[in-house]
Structures are given as structure tokens and as C-alpha cells.
Amino acid sequence: MRLVKYIFLAVAGILVLSAFKSEQKVRIFMIGDSTMANKDVSGGKLERGWGMMLKNFFTDNVIVNNHALNGRSSKSFIAEGHWQKVVEQIRPGDYVFIQFGHNDEKADTLRHTDPGTSFDDNLRRFVNETRRKGGIPVLFNSVVRRTFADSKTAVEDDDRRDNSSNYLAEGDTLVDTHGAYLLSPRNVAVELDVPFVDANKITHDLEEGLGPDGSKKLHMWYRPGEVEYLPDGRQDNTHYNVYGAYIVAGLLAEAVADEVPELKDYFRHYDMSVANDGSGLYFDLQSAIDAAEPGRSVTILVGDGEWAKPSIPKNKKIKFVLSAGAKWL
């Protein structure tokens, strides 16, 4: 009888621990530049950073805190006090995703760093200070610029959000614009034994696979009059639109799951997501339903909030998955 009692208590303890573990929240802090950052979505604005979309690819047990900011380099992110604000929040077990490079390449002294010296030193600082707080750093190199021509102004075009080399003939091969800045995150990762995600290769393969025309669909490339708030159009090879940020976030989340085994169980992938804060592929359910391919099984993640349950056309196979903070009216 006593043995049965001990077995019962042991099983009960395991169940309690399992339940506690399932309720634990994993926190991811993100630091980086405009390609990662959250964006203003008011007035129908379409620019997004991939970090803004990342939560769509992890379970509700993962909380994403995106501190990436437009225009920042590793140097200016530290100098302006943004890094210190992140450090103060890190708790043991938190993850910190680190991605800089685009603006470290800029010539101005407030942002410029050099690969192999000052850029690497800043990356080491992010890693070491994260670890001192018990956090887990993950290093990324920069995503590619959509540069299919030998542009001399690609780096400066980031800030202009324009493509001043649009008169150049484009080929079928992406031209690298980052140079040695791609090596620093990899080298520091090896030196300090940090997980590394080759975001540049992942996005290079994506964009080159789509080609010069297809890759425009990932970026803020719009003809004059195509988008109401951009009457003159825009030709931006750096920054993502909604679709591009969603696709890149999914690819990088999958890469993280491969590089950081502890996060693999939290990774998820849905065909579409809907969120009323602009962090999904669509703002509303009807747009997602309209976009679903007839006859194909489609799973749609529904973000936090109250939603009127829509009717689904008979020719569409759609399954809705509600996030923890979502419910049907």
C-alpha cells in the first residue's frame, strides 16, 4: 500500500512539473535595425520588419519583445541607451536575437563601425552582457539587399528608402553589398560559442530564387499610384513589405529552431495569419479567406482579440487556429 502511495505521489509530481513547464513563458528580445524593427501601420502603411512578424512562428508560450529600431547600427544602438534598456530587462533563460550590419556600413561617424575591430567589439559586448544576466544570445548576420545590379549607392539608399540606381540594368545574380560585415557575426559566434543564423544566405537564396522581378514582391516596390499613401511610388531594395517580412520571418524562425534545439518545440508554421495590430499577413479574416486557394487545405492563425466567426465558401478548405488571446464573438 505504501509503495502504491509513493508511486501515486511521484506521478502526481511529474504531472505538476509538466504542467508548470507548459505554462512557462520563453522570452525573446530582439535588437537590430529597420529590417527587423516594428513599424507604424497607421494610414495603411505597408512596411514591416521581419521581427514584427516573428511571433506568428512560435507558440503562445513565446513572448517576443522587439527592440530593433530604424536606422541604428550596433554603435548608435549602444550610444543612444537602447541596449542598456534591454539589458536591464534580461532574466536568466531569456533569448536575445542580435542583428546589425546595414547601418554599421554607413559613413557617418555616429553609426559607422569597422568589421574585424569595432563592429566585432560591439557584438561581443551584446553577447557578454546578455550572458552576465543569464540570457542566451543568438547572432544573425544581415539580410540581403535586393541588388541585382552593380550599384554604387545601395548602402546610402537604405536611408532614402529609394533605389537611386534604378537606371542600371539588372542581371539574374544578386550583388553582395555587405562585404566583411557579414563575417563579423559569424566570427564572433565561433569565438564565443554562440548560436549563429546565416540570415544573409537564407535571404540570398530566397531573393535570387525569385529573380529580379519576383523579389520585388518582398520589398517596398510600388508603381506610382499603386498604393494610395505613396502617390509617387517607391523603389526600395532594403525594406520589406507585409508579405516579405512574413516570408523572411518564417524562414529565419525555422533556422533558429534548427540552431537552437531548446526552441524547436516552440516553432510553428501556418499558411497565413491575421492580426489587427499589423503583425499578421492580413488585418482581417475576410482578406485571408479571399486569398486562400480553392481546394487547398489552408490553416490560418488568428491573433489576439475578439473576432466574428466568418462563413467559409464551399470550395475552400480553411482551418482557423486561435491564439491564446483570441476568441470568437
Decide which of 269, 286, 319 is a domain's last residue.
Answer: 269
pLDDT one-digit tens code per residue, 73-110: 999 999 999 999 999 999 999 999 999 999 999 999 99
Instruction: Report d(CA 216, CA 222) in Å as an integer.
Output: 9
Instruction: Report d(CA 96, CA 86) in Å as an integer.
Output: 9
Does 286 map to a domain? yes
Percentage of the chain lying above the pLDDT 90 cut: 85
Q: What is the mean pLDDT of the chain?
A: 92
Same domain for 67 and 154: yes
Q: Which helix (H) or strand (E) holds 301?
A: strand 297-302
* DSSP-assigned letters across all residues of 10-49: HHHHHHHHHHHHHHPPEEEEEEE-TTTS----GGG---B-
Band of residue 19 on the pLDDT scale cut at 50, 70, 90? very low
Whether pTM exceeds 0.85: yes
The confidence score (pLDDT) of residue 153 equals 79
Does 53 map to a domain? yes
Does 15 map to a domain? no
Does 302 map to a domain? yes
Instruction: Report d(CA 213, CA 211) in Å as an integer.
Output: 6
Domain around 246: 25-269
Same domain for 211 and 170: yes
Instruction: Report d(CA 138, CA 12) in Å as an integer.
Output: 36
Same domain for 154 and 93: yes
State residue 126 phi and psi, 5-degree precision.
Answer: -60, -45
How many folded domains does the chain comprise? 2
Does 229 map to a domain? yes
* Residue for grid cell 487545405: 297
Does the pLDDT of residue 33 top 60, yes or no?
Answer: yes
Cell of 165: 540606381
Does 93 map to a domain? yes
What contacts 8, CB < 8 A, 6 or more positions away?
Answer: none
Other CB atoms within 10 Å distance of the CB of residue 230: 16
Same domain for 263 and 279: no
Same domain for 320 and 227: no
Does 80 map to a domain? yes
Does residue 15 or residue 136 have the better pLDDT?
136
Same domain for 91 and 125: yes
> Are 158 and 168 a contacting pair, CB within 8 Å?
no
The confidence score (pLDDT) of residue 23 equals 62
Does the pLDDT of residue 16 top 70, yes or no?
Answer: no
Same domain for 254 and 326: no
The confidence score (pLDDT) of residue 160 equals 75
Decide which of 250, 269, 288 is a domain's last residue.
Answer: 269
The confidence score (pLDDT) of residue 70 equals 97
pLDDT one-digit tens code per residue, 187-222: 999 999 999 999 999 999 999 999 999 999 999 999
What angle do the packed helices 118-132 and 183-192 form, to 10 degrees?
Answer: 40
Same domain for 222 and 102: yes
CATH of the domain at 84: 3.40.50.1110
Same domain for 80 and 51: yes
Helices (H) and strands (E) in the chain, counts: 11, 12
Does 18 map to a domain? no
Number of Cα atoms under 13 Å in the Cβ half of residue 83: 24
The confidence score (pLDDT) of residue 2 equals 55
Instruction: Report d(CA 95, CA 256) in Å as an integer.
Output: 11
Does residue 263 or residue 15 have the better pLDDT?
263
The confidence score (pLDDT) of residue 1 equals 52
Q: Which helix (H) or strand (E) holds 163?
A: none
pLDDT one-digit tens code per residue, 275-318: 999 999 999 999 999 999 999 999 999 999 999 999 999 999 99
The confidence score (pLDDT) of residue 24 equals 80
Instruction: Report d(CA 142, CA 33) in Å as an integer.
Output: 9
Cα–Cα nearest to 87, from 106, 67, 71: 67
Same domain for 245 and 189: yes
Same domain for 308 and 171: no
pLDDT one-digit tens code per residue, 145-170: 999 988 777 888 788 777 766 667 78
Backbone dihedral region for residue 225 (phi beyond 0: left; psi -120 to 50: alpha; all else: beta): left
Instruction: Report d(CA 153, CA 215) in Å as an integer.
Output: 19
Decide which of 243, 269, 295 is a domain's last residue.
Answer: 269
The confidence score (pLDDT) of residue 17 equals 40
Same domain for 308 and 260: no
Does the pLDDT of residue 22 top 50, yes or no?
Answer: no
